[in-house]
Amino acid sequence: MEVYTHLEMNRLIVFDLGETLISYEGVPLNWSGNYQQAILNALEILGITSNDDLLTLATSILNFYNTRNSPRLFEVEEGEVLKKVAKVFGADYIEFEALFFSYFQRKAQPEATAEKTLAELKRRGVKLSVLSDVPYGMPKKMLLSDLGSLATWFDDICSSCEVGFRKPHPYGLLHQMQKHHSSKATTIFVGNEAKDIECALNAGVKSILLDPTDHHQFGQTFSVKSLSEVDETLSSTQPGT
């Protein structure tokens, strides 16, 4: 029978979602080049006609909220952006939002070793959570849809809309630590971008950069080439060291 230390049992690993737990095959991090097609697909299904002026207005709204072009630390309300876009076409907001995001979600696939890694971490008694910056105020139910069966392994799944801030602001990470009674010494943040590592640094916790190239240095505590190495990294370190 395995015996875990008190610190081990209070460890919290917080994961980013996009390109960390889930990959979106063929979908770029910056969606701006796909706006028009995603909108047109939604309008076709809804039986709504459009014109160039309306499409230009709709894409200008999306560009305004595009954090890849204009990073921001504050977050919009859930549903705020697509309500504005749907209004341009007189479309039902709920239907239009679901169809717009489905254009990008249809290629969501879990990282190859994610299920096995999460299962092993849970077996060891580690608390697991997700902290994800969502695009354009995307509802949490769609975040859960992207996670699919992986969602069952997590003690908590949190979006930037819930906490009101985006990474690298530390509020979301500090919120998770407080909620799950974890200290700076027992928390690790896992992500694939500079902003994930900066978030961990701003919160004063250790970080693991998922970097298949093993070339990037953002100030991370550890680097791994795949999620399968996270458990090994955790096993080789003691909380607080």
pLDDT, tens digit (0-9, with 9 covering 90-100), for 167-204: 999 999 999 999 999 999 999 999 999 999 999 999 99
pLDDT of residue 5: 45
- What is the average pLDDT across 219-226? 96
Distance between first and last Cα of the chain? 25
Q: Which amino acid is at 128?
A: L
pLDDT of residue 108: 86
pTM for this predicted structure? 0.92
pLDDT in tens, 71-95: 999 999 999 999 999 999 999 999 9
Q: How far apart are CA 175 and CA 152, in angstroms?
A: 21
